[in-house]
Copies of this chain bind each other. A is one copy, B any other.
């Protein structure tokens, strides 16, 4: 009986071309994070349900993947990387040198509405500094975000900042509606507030707010005119207490590519004492989409196969394998053909896989090197095996 091969709604396979783009972004971010002293951390995909429940607001609880495991425990799949970090810090608080600066890059799962183009499994890239209230740590998070965007190749962008304390007297319900400003516009916010019997004028009040002393200090430390005070910035999540941040890319209108802020009380829920923290999460899918739209990926991504060594006959098989090893030893990613097949089939395979060079062994000293010219014709050269690596590099 044949089983129908299919994936769940909102879950994706990443084919090599996309997987390579993802690896490129991950490696770029990782290098920036590490250059500022952030260290890698991994936490489990599954946590006890009570660790995650009630931390993200009502919607979070609804969208969380929760179930009973074989041992009768109530468990939940990671919903973000901040709550597991809080749990982790509380658990290891006596051994952890503070401030603790960590990054985590892993998948999270949310049973969100796929009709809105949302995914149910997606990658997050987080940096967080735990254990200090210093304004320097707020500024450093933003600095790392700026450096990350620059290294990924983004030219023009804005870092919007605000202070959650400006919303101290505003109800959670109202914040959730103001948070939709970008999506539904000013009139949308106004009418939704009125519909729910809330003060429709709040947006005007919010808009006229002045930056807090802390925000001013952050702006001064950074002295970067891409960092802008935006009083209507609200951020949906419950746990923020101070600075909040969002990133907008010029020329990419689908939304913020990441956000974060200060959350000084979350870890305390697990630790039994206040341990302040500030952090930022890149929305990985949006980053990739923005980079695609703005053409920021290098034409040849790291790790791509550069050469196919063809096998013209059984007799030349051994020479082909040795030629491939020679190229690999020179740091060139090389595939050998694995079957006996017509040359045409081998050339077609290389073309379909976008492998730029095909090497056809002639004897134990010479090969034919085939590649495409810029106008798309096949260019062939007979060269000595010894000079092959240099001819390709």
Question: Which residues does A use to contact B, with CB under 8 Å?
Answer: 2-9, 11-16, 19-20, 22-23, 30-31, 34-37, 39-48, 50-51, 63, 65, 67-71, 73, 75, 87-88, 90-92, 97, 99, 101-102, 107, 109, 111, 120-121, 129, 132, 134, 136-137, 140, 269-272, 303-305, 308, 317, 328, 331-336, 338-340, 349, 352-353, 355
Contact = CB atoms under 8 A, between A and B. Distances in A.
Contacts of A111: 69-71
B303 A34 contact: yes
A44 B40 CA distance: 23
A353 B41 CA distance: 14
B132 A12 contact: no
A90 B107 CA distance: 25
A14 B23 CA distance: 21
A30 B137 contact: no
A39 B19 contact: yes
Nearest to A39: B16
A121 B44 contact: yes
Nearest to A308: B37
B42 A13 contact: yes
Contacts of A30: 303
B99 A16 contact: no
Contacts of A339: 99, 132, 134, 136
A144 to B, nearest CB: 10
24 contacts: A2-B272, A12-B42, A13-B42, A14-B41, A14-B43, A15-B92, A20-B39, A22-B42, A23-B40, A36-B333, A36-B335, A45-B107, A45-B109, A45-B121, A46-B109, A67-B68, A70-B111, A71-B111, A97-B352, A97-B353, A132-B339, A136-B338, A137-B338, A140-B336
B5 A90 contact: yes
Number of copies of this protein chain within its complex: 2
Given A91-B5, A339-B136, A41 B70 contact: no
Contact of A3 (B7, B51, B109): B51
Given A73-B8, A88-B5, A111-B69, A333 B13 contact: no
A303 B334 CA distance: 28
Nearest to A50: B3
A5 B67 contact: no
A48 B335 contact: no
A67 B99 CA distance: 39
B41 A15 contact: yes
Contacts of A270: 2-5
A19 to B, nearest CB: 4
A102 B16 contact: yes
Nearest to A54: B3
Contacts of A331: 35
A31 B269 CA distance: 42
Given A7-B47, A20-B40, 14 more contacts: A3-B269, A5-B90, A6-B87, A8-B48, A13-B44, A35-B331, A36-B333, A37-B334, A37-B335, A44-B121, A65-B70, A97-B353, A99-B338, A136-B338
